[in-house]
Amino acid sequence: MLGEGIWKWGADIVLEIQTWGLPILPFELVTYLGNETFYFILVPVFFWLVRPGTGIRLLGILLFSSFSNSFFKLWLTEPRPYWVNSDVKAYVYETSYGIPSGHSQNAVTIWGYLAYVFRARGWWVMAGAVLLMAVICFSRLVLGVHFPQDIIGGLVLGLVLLFVYIRTTDGVLTWYSRLDTTRKILYPFIISLILIAMAVALRSALDSTDPENWSSMAAMAIGLDGVDVERLKTEFDPRSLDTFISVAATLAGLGLALALSERSNHFEVHRRPLPILGVIVVGFVGIGFFRAAPRLLFDVEGPWLEGLVRYVRYALIMVWAAYWAPLVFKAFGWARPLEEKEMTDFLDTAGKAK
């Protein structure tokens, strides 16, 4: 751990910002643009309506960034400011460790990658992305959920991951596109198990426990009315493997979906209002169904069974979004199947946005 000295330095900065009396609602809205839930909405929109290859690449960097962020958080086990300083008021409840900031990191990787893809549109694309990154990072300080050092860590790690991803993704997708169907399914599944095993091994290797007062201070610092403090204490689990499982399952589901898609041709949505509306409504209703149904059908207890259900949920969500949903779109006439000569560019191995 970094220690109380740097925690105090960071908390003093957060407290100073909170004395400025800034309105909270705008920053709650802005911080949502750095939330993984928002990105899991953004990715299907790109996949269905903008360009499937770009959507897949966007999902790839999201998974890469999310796993890396969770791994470093679990390794470093650093608190958030309101866990250790009762004067800091938190306007968002977070149960993961603090450094590196996931919002800052994802802002760099996701919005930075989109700025890179669409850089030909003009300088304003990069300028807008940088402005959005800055506002998202600042919102985390206003809301009291991160120290400045968390933000810096997220920015640095995000830049490194963005550079690595841009340099390697073309080669990875080209290699994947040349695999046979069996390997396209098997390799992502094996990698997903390896990712979960890495997370389990890291958590098992931690030789310290968190201070008992972190959960109490975290629950009592929330600046919201009507909060069930005892429930928040129960939900407090910085060492949860949920994110690792979700990332791994999404990767496995993506591999299965892409392999199956090649056997039924890929798709292109018709650029008319009704097809676009139908794609959005049916697509996200399906995502909601597969997100909720396994939990309702399998009411299990215990970390291993709960983890298994989570894995199934996220894998099914990915199969729906990238395979079943396009079949439905084509069945309703909202999309057309691609011809054989068009399918070679579906993964956009040249990395160019149109």
Question: If you average pLDDT over residues 48-52, what whole number do you get?
Answer: 88
Given a cut of 60, whether residue 223 has pLDDT beyond it is: no
Beta bridge partners, 222, equal 90
pLDDT at position 32, please?
Answer: 85
Would you place residue 344 in the very low, low, confident or very high pLDDT band (cuts 50, 70, 90)?
Answer: low
> How far apart (Å, rounded) are the C-alpha atoms in residues 209 and 239?
10
With beta carbons less than 8 A apart as the criterion, state whether 291 and 41 touch: no
What's the pLDDT tens digit per position in 300-335? 777 788 889 999 999 999 999 999 999 999 999 999
Amino acid at 241: L
Residue 321 lies inside a defined structural domain of this protein = yes
How do beta strands 335-337 and 267-269 pair? antiparallel
Residue 349 lies inside a defined structural domain of this protein = no
Would you place residue 347 in the very low, low, confident or very high pLDDT band (cuts 50, 70, 90)?
Answer: low
Residue 335 lies inside a defined structural domain of this protein = yes
Given a cut of 60, whether residue 260 has pLDDT beyond it is: yes
Question: If you average pLDDT over residues 217-233, what whole number do you get?
Answer: 62
Residue 47 lies inside a defined structural domain of this protein = yes
Could you list the residue range(s) of the whole structural domain that residue 14 is in?
Answer: 4-343
Residue 131 lies inside a defined structural domain of this protein = yes
Given a cut of 70, whether residue 107 has pLDDT beyond it is: yes
Residue 162 lies inside a defined structural domain of this protein = yes
> How far apart (Å, rounded) are the C-alpha atoms in residues 187 and 236?
34
Neighbour tally for 71: CB within 10 Å: 17
Given a cut of 80, whether residue 2 has pLDDT beyond it is: no
Q: What are phi and psi of 222, to 5 degrees?
A: -65, 125
Q: Residue 231: CA atoms inside 13 Å, Cβ hemisphere, count?
A: 5
| DSSP tag of 322 | I
pLDDT at position 268, please?
Answer: 86
Residue 351 lies inside a defined structural domain of this protein = no
Greater model confidence, 244 or 346: 244
Beta bridge partners, 267, equal 337
> How far apart (Å, rounded) are the C-alpha atoms in residues 341 and 114?
27
Q: How many domains does the chain have?
A: 1
Amino acid at 314: Y
pLDDT at position 305, please?
Answer: 85
pLDDT at position 228, please?
Answer: 61
Residue 350 lies inside a defined structural domain of this protein = no
Residue among 255, 236, 254, 329 at smallest CA distance from 285: 329
Handedness of CA 253, 106, 93, 83 (dihedral sign): positive
pLDDT at position 351, please?
Answer: 46
pLDDT at position 44, please?
Answer: 92
Given a cut of 90, whether residue 267 has pLDDT beyond it is: no
